[in-house]
Structure 1
């Protein structure tokens, strides 16, 4: 049973050829270049967050954390490290597939890893908000701040999903300027 993705891919290929006069290989090259640019932006943030989190246990006040805050810290570190791995993985996969003519597999896999990496990065950011507000103010304020951060992240993700669905339904015919 098909979910329609094959048909959408064919439509996308045809649109790109008509509108951009690009072959499938040119489209894959463009998609890979765009994905690399996105990874450069998000990798910096996740690597800084991970580095920051990994230094916290070596600070004097770390011993003042409650059991709840230590648990929050450990879950947040795990999410941040996982996010780092997911966002760096496309580079390793590129190395493994280099000169193997596997660009379709590379782009598709890197896209999925990046989406998962961004999701875990968002969860790690919520964890950092929870940890910091809990430690500086109170656990109750930490939970509220984390809920707000999670709502913002989910809201932005929902906005992206709505825009994607709206664009898919209202896809205008290709023009030479696209």
Structure 2
């Protein structure tokens, strides 16, 4: 028996008896994947994406944590020290958000909250990537300010942040909007 295009046996496996949505129907028709299997796959994909970002944020944060203990740190201007603090705080905040899916999972484990876990983890990852981009930009501003001076540093950093924003956010959103009818 079919209900909304999905076999009755599949509806029995929907989390909390929720009605199937268009994604559930498409995934079952094309992949023979139940909504629960889709949530499992989505969470695994988010974790894989976060692993890539975590490496970057860990390296950046490690670099930033050591900067204050170098002899050159004492020669930084007030502007450079503020940029350093901003980069450090943004890096720590990015780290927290990129690790948050694991902590969230641990706290909701065996509570049948996979849908909430996937949605929250997706938001954590996107927010963490945004903070990572800003932390990289701040660290770049600091380094370029020390090596080139503030004016050039601001221009180069703005260009690099624009480059990150283009590939991390603008192109994916453009693709999403362009293909929204799918």
2:69 is matched with which residue: 55, 58, 73? 58
1:96 is matched with which residue: 107, 119, 124? 107
Structure 2 residue matching 1:168: 3-state secondary structure: coil
> Could you give the per-residue CA deviations for residues 46-95 of structure 1, whole angstroms, max 9, x where no partner exists?
01101110110000000111111001000111110000000001100111
Structure 1 residue matching 2:112: 3-state secondary structure: coil
Matched, 1:22 2:16: no
Structure 1 consecutive aligned stretches of length 4 or more whose deviation exceeds 4 Å: none
Partner of residue 145, structure 2: 134
TM-score normalised by structure 2 residue count:
0.86
Q: Residues 20-99 of structure 1: matches in 2 within 5 Å?
A: 20-99=31-110
- CA distance in 2: counterparts of 1:65 and 1:145, whole angstroms: 19
Structure 2 residue matching 1:100: 3-state secondary structure: coil
2:173 is matched with which residue: 161, 164, 177? 161
- CA distance in 2: counterparts of 1:164 and 1:80, whole angstroms: 28
> Could you give the per-residue CA deviations for residues 6-59 of structure 1, whole angstroms, max 9, x where no partner exists?
xxx821111111111110000001001111111111111101101110110000
Structure 2 residues not aligned, in runs of 5+: 1-19
Structure 1 residues not aligned, in runs of 5+: 1-8, 172-178
- CA distance in 2: counterparts of 1:167 and 1:80, whole angstroms: 33
Shift of 1:167: 2.1
Please identify the structure whose Cα radius of gyration is greater: 2
Matched, 1:110 2:111: no
Partner of residue 23, structure 2: 12
1:149 is matched with which residue: 143, 160, 172? 160
TM-score normalised by structure 1 residue count:
0.88
Q: Which gives a bigger RCO, structure 1 or 2 (Cα 8 Å, sep 6+)?
A: 1
Q: How many residues align?
A: 162
Structure 2 residue matching 1:99: 3-state secondary structure: coil
Shift of 1:124: 0.6
